[in-house]
Amino acid sequence: MAILPITLIGDKILRHKVKKVSDVDVETVELIKNMFQTMRNANGIGFAANQIGADKSIIVIDVSVIEEYKNIKPLVLINPDIIYRSEEKIIMEEGCLSIPDIRCEIERPSQIVVKYKDTDMVKHELEASALLARVIQHEFDHLNGILFTDLIDQDLKKKLKKPLSLIKNRQLEVDYPVTADSEYRL
């Protein structure tokens, strides 16, 4: 397993829809292990493959580090598709390893149902609510080129323009490895 550099806002791969996974080979298993390792090293609870530069529809989640979710096993979602979003919405603060030190209140559906495949390419359907639903939606957005900062209002976007520019230009110190300035740039 390896800790890989994390892509940052401004990196091209974070802005396009990733490719579906057709089979899980040794390389894909290694990618998933590296995703968990990289996510945990950066103290994250959800991670999308494009956050380490992989053009694959894979999400890893481990919310068990949070006391009330300690009994939830880590999840690997391959080719996820959210098939239901509740009308009821909740607002929670979100952050992102690809946008370090920025946190915003984001409104999202409180419950979802997601279809996905596991590492054996077996189909599953998962009902999720609260934090787990939030993390799945955040990471699902990543796979579609959407960042949580896309969901905030224009006034807040204006206020975040300078801090986001510092991140894009690698002028913010981060406690984990990030991609070099030229690696995945737009």
Q: What is the pLDDT of residues 134-172, one digit of tens each?
A: 999 999 999 999 999 999 999 999 999 999 999 999 998
pLDDT recorded at residue 5: 96
First-residue to last-residue Cα distance in the chain: 29
> Tokens 């699902």 sit at which residue?
140
pLDDT recorded at residue 186: 43
Global confidence as pTM: 0.95
Residues 110, 128: contact at Cβ < 8 Å?
Answer: no
Per-residue pLDDT of the chain (186 residues; tens, 9 = 90+): 899 999 999 999 999 999 999 999 999 999 999 999 999 999 999 999 999 999 999 999 999 999 999 999 999 999 999 999 999 999 999 999 999 999 999 999 999 999 999 999 999 999 999 999 999 999 999 999 999 999 999 999 999 999 999 999 999 899 999 998 655 554
- Residue range 12-168, CATH number: 3.90.45.10
Paired tokens of 119: 């590492």
Q: How far apart are CA 78 and CA 99, in angstroms?
A: 23
Q: How many residues does the chain have?
A: 186
DSSP, residue by residue, 140-184: HHHHTT--GGGGS-HHHHHHHHHHHHHHHTT-S--SS-B--TTTS
β-strand partners of 116: 124
Residue in 27, 67, 105, 139 annotated catalytic: 139
* Whether residue 139 lies in the annotated active site: yes
